[in-house]
């Protein structure tokens, strides 16, 4: 048997370090067994999936140095590797399950489902589908289908007993069937849900080991049942622990930069990032701190993964990156990497319009551009208080802006400008009060190119990280104040969305 693993990202946002972490362990496992590593794009959510996100994910994973044997960009014998191009296969499989009586048509409207949910919650029950459409006669079902009534296909779930799934790291996990919903497999638009597409593809792509994040454990009973319904062997499951923030909470972009591209833009080495991710729940048998991907593969043993939530700590990553810079690169390689990071002609071409109008000699360049080369600008607390805003306004403005920018896509000048105007309107402050604060947060200086230009050149993640730093320097927002702020932020969003302004 050839070991085949896969990474199956959904292109619905920034390329997450968690994706690189799962990809790395899948890669290491496959290669340690002389097997294949596949990349599949799970874009069945047509509303949230975007081509830009897919592009960014592929670019970011390629930057890490991981290489896949099959994927949408490199092809392969089991393609296509983008789920949106496989719709007919899923439809045929859903139909097969209906035929065999393992799935059924459900004609409930969103209103029916909302009512069902409310009644169950009022009765203190966990809301789930009550199975009413399983009672329809075959004639009734046929009639509704001929009448073209909107419907989904749901899978049948045993009414009682427990489902026992085997996880390579955790042993047997037992989940009562009563907790498992009659999952929708095919949506009204005829497209599959994640569960159906994922199982069908893992089977057709001959995946032997499913190595993924522990957030998917609750889905495992449904998947196991689907394998049984189809009469297929199930790949071995292995759920890895989720990466955590230093405060133990789940790694999220609200607290930490989570985009892989952030680490590239901040000047980390991809080798150091992979090395650090390789230490998340795993270690080399000789406890070496610095190791290459090749060394990791040679020593990889997935059964040594420890289940305690690994902490993704930027300071530790920074230290490890320093180890790489100090001793792992030749001088020539060092210079090449440094230039490619922040001194490439592409970089200067982007910065040129802002430089051309401002400098008289090249030695002035760093005066204007230095915020782009620093990891984090230094923002002094008294510089923040010197801004024409009260302490509370400063904190609210920074928090509002961080939230608004989190939702901004694409990252362009007009979007950044609209976000800043949104904060002004929401907090009833003037643009000329807010801009010096944003400028200070992004540059930490008296003089630099404009805040808008900095935001564009820095990109979304570095910009947000700087705003977060300024918020911390200003004393941060207390938990209680945060609740209040969340509410007024939601109100401000609603007000803007209803008038269509500040977009």
Binding mask 280-319 for ligand GLU (x = CB under 6 A): ----------------------------------------
CB of 212 to ligand GLU, least distance (A): 4
Q: Could you tell me which of 2, 1, 6 has the C-alpha nearest to residue 210? A: 6
183 binds ligand GLU (CB under 6 A): no
Q: State which of residues 63, 177, 216, 347 lies at the interface with ligand GLU (CB under 6 A).
A: 216
Sign of CA dihedral 224, 226, 232, 237: negative
CB of 304 to ligand GLU, least distance (A): 21
Reduce the DSSP state of residue 217 to 3 states and report it.
Answer: helix
Tokens of 203: 């089977």
Q: In this structure, how many other beta carbons lie within 10 angstroms of the beta carbon of residue 416? A: 23
- 3-state helix, strand and coil shares in percent for the chain, rounded to the nearest 5: 55, 10, 35
Q: State which of residues 9, 71, 192, 371 lies at the interface with ligand GLU (CB under 6 A).
A: 9
Supply φ then ψ for residue 286, to 5 degrees.
-95, 10
- Distance separating alpha carbons of residues 192 and 198, to the nearest angstrom: 9
CB of 4 to ligand GLU, least distance (A): 14
Q: What is the CA radius of gyration of the chain?
A: 26
Distance of CA 176 to the CA centre of its chain: 30
227 binds ligand GLU (CB under 6 A): no
Stretch that binds ligand GLU, among 7-15, 55-63, 344-352, 400-408 (CB under 6 A): 7-15
CB of 218 to ligand GLU, least distance (A): 12
Q: Which residue, 217 or 328, has its beta carbon nearer to ligand GLU?
A: 217
Stretch that binds ligand GLU, among 2-10, 129-137, 399-407, 492-500 (CB under 6 A): 2-10
Has 255 been annotated as catalytic? Answer: no
24, exposed or middle or buried, with CB in 10 Å at 0-12, 13-18, 19+?
Answer: buried
Stretch that binds ligand GLU, among 3-11, 89-97, 111-119, 319-327 (CB under 6 A): 3-11
User: What is the footprint of ligand GLU within residues 86-125 (CB under 6 A)?
Assistant: none
Q: Could you tell me which of 227, 115, 122, 106 has the C-alpha nearest to residue 166? A: 227
Q: Which residue, 154 or 212, has its beta carbon nearer to ligand GLU?
A: 212
Q: State which of residues 183, 186, 198, 259 lies at the interface with ligand GLU (CB under 6 A).
A: 198
Q: Which residue, 212 or 264, has its beta carbon nearer to ligand GLU?
A: 212
Contacts of 282 (CB under 8 A, 6+ apart): 25, 300, 304, 305, 306
CB of 216 to ligand GLU, least distance (A): 5
Contacts of 314 (CB under 8 A, 6+ apart): 256, 257
10 binds ligand GLU (CB under 6 A): yes
Angle, vertex CA 176, rays to CA 175 and CA 180, nearest 5: 90
CB of 202 to ligand GLU, least distance (A): 8
Residue with token string 């400008």: 417
- Which one-letter DSSP state was computed for residue 72? T
Q: Which residue, 198 or 474, has its beta carbon nearer to ligand GLU?
A: 198
CB of 9 to ligand GLU, least distance (A): 5
Q: Which residue, 82 or 421, has its beta carbon nearer to ligand GLU?
A: 82
- Distance separating alpha carbons of residues 301 and 285, to the nearest angstrom: 9
Q: Which residue, 8 or 97, has its beta carbon nearer to ligand GLU?
A: 8
Stretch that binds ligand GLU, among 6-14, 248-256, 286-294, 331-339 (CB under 6 A): 6-14
CB of 207 to ligand GLU, least distance (A): 10
Q: State which of residues 105, 212, 244, 279 lies at the interface with ligand GLU (CB under 6 A).
A: 212
Reduce the DSSP state of residue 165 to 3 states and report it.
Answer: strand
349-380 burial: b if 16+ Cβ within 10 Å, else e: eebeebeeeeeeeeeeeeebbebbeeeebebe
Pick the catalytic residue: 128, 250, 253, 326? Answer: 253
Query: What are the residue ranges of helices labelled H in 9-65?
Result: 17-32, 51-64
CB of 41 to ligand GLU, least distance (A): 9
Residue with token string 């430089």: 355
Residue with token string 């020593």: 299
Q: Which residue, 216 or 347, has its beta carbon nearer to ligand GLU?
A: 216
Q: State which of residues 5, 13, 39, 42 lies at the interface with ligand GLU (CB under 6 A).
A: 42
Q: Which residue, 201 or 271, has its beta carbon nearer to ligand GLU?
A: 201
- Distance separating alpha carbons of residues 259 and 320, to the nearest angstrom: 19
Tokens of 170: 């955790």
Q: State which of residues 4, 5, 8, 57 lies at the interface with ligand GLU (CB under 6 A).
A: 8
Tokens of 68: 């896949």
Q: Which residue, 191 or 424, has its beta carbon nearer to ligand GLU?
A: 191
Residues that bind ligand GLU (CB under 6 A): 8-10, 42, 198, 212, 216
Which residues participate in catalysis according to the annotation?
Answer: 253
């Amino acid at each position: 048997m050839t070991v085949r693993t896969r990474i199956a990202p959904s292109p619905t946002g920034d390329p997450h370090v968690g994706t690189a972490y799962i990809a790395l362990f899948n890669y290491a496992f496959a290669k340690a067994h002389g097997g294949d590593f596949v990349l599949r794009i799970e874009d069945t959510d047509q509303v949230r999936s975007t081509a830009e996100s897919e592009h960014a994910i592929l670019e970011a994973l390629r930057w890490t140095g991981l290489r896949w044997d099959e994927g949408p960009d490199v092809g392969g014998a089991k393609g296509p590797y983008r789920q949106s191009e496989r719709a007919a296969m899923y439809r045929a499989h859903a139909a097969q399950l209906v035929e065999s009586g393992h799935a059924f048509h459900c004609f409930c409207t969103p209103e029916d489902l909302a009512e069902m949910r409310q009644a169950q919650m009022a009765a203190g029950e966990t809301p789930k589908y009550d199975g009413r459409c399983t009672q329809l006669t075959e004639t009734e079902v046929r009639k509704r289908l001929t009448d073209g009534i909107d419907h989904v296909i749901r899978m049948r779930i045993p009414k009682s007993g427990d489902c026992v799934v085997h996880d390579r790291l955790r042993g047997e996990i037992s989940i009562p069937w009563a907790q498992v919903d009659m999952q929708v497999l095919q949506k009204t638009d005829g497209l599959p849900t994640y569960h159906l597409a994922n199982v069908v593809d893992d089977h057709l792509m001959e995946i032997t080991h499913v190595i993924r994040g522990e957030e998917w454990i609750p889905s495992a009973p449904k998947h196991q049942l689907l394998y049984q319904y189809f009469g297929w062997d199930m790949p071995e499951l292995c759920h890895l622990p989720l990466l955590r923030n230093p405060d133990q909470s789940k790694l999220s972009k609200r607290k930490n930069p989570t985009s892989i591209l952030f680490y590239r833009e901040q000047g980390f080495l991809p080798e150091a990032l992979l090395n650090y991710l390789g230490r998340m729940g795993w270690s080399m048998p000789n406890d070496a701190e610095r190791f290459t991907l090749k060394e990791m593969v040679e020593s990889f043993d997935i059964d040594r993964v420890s289940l305690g939530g690994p902490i993704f700590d930027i300071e530790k990553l920074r230290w490890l990156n320093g180890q790489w810079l100090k001793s792992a690169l030749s001088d020539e390689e060092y210079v090449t990497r440094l230039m490619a990071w922040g001194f490439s002609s592409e970089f200067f071409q982007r910065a040129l319009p802002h430089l051309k109008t401002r400098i008289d000699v090249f030695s002035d360049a760093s005066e204007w551009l230095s915020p782009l080369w620093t990891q984090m600008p230094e923002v002094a607390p008294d510089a923040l208080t010197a801004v024409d805003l009260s302490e509370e306004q400063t904190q609210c403005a920074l928090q509002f802006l961080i939230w608004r920018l989190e939702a901004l896509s694409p990252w362009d000048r007009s979007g950044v400008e609209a976000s800043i105007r949104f904060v002004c309107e929401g907090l009833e402050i003037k643009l000329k009060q807010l801009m010096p604060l944003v400028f200070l947060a992004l540059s930490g200086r008296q003089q630099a190119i404009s805040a808008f230009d900095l935001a564009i050149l820095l990109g979304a993640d570095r910009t947000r990280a700087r705003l977060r730093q300024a918020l911390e320097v200003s004393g941060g927002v207390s938990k209680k104040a945060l609740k209040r702020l969340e509410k007024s932020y939601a109100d401000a969003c609603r007000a803007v969305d209803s008038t269509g302004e500040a977009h």
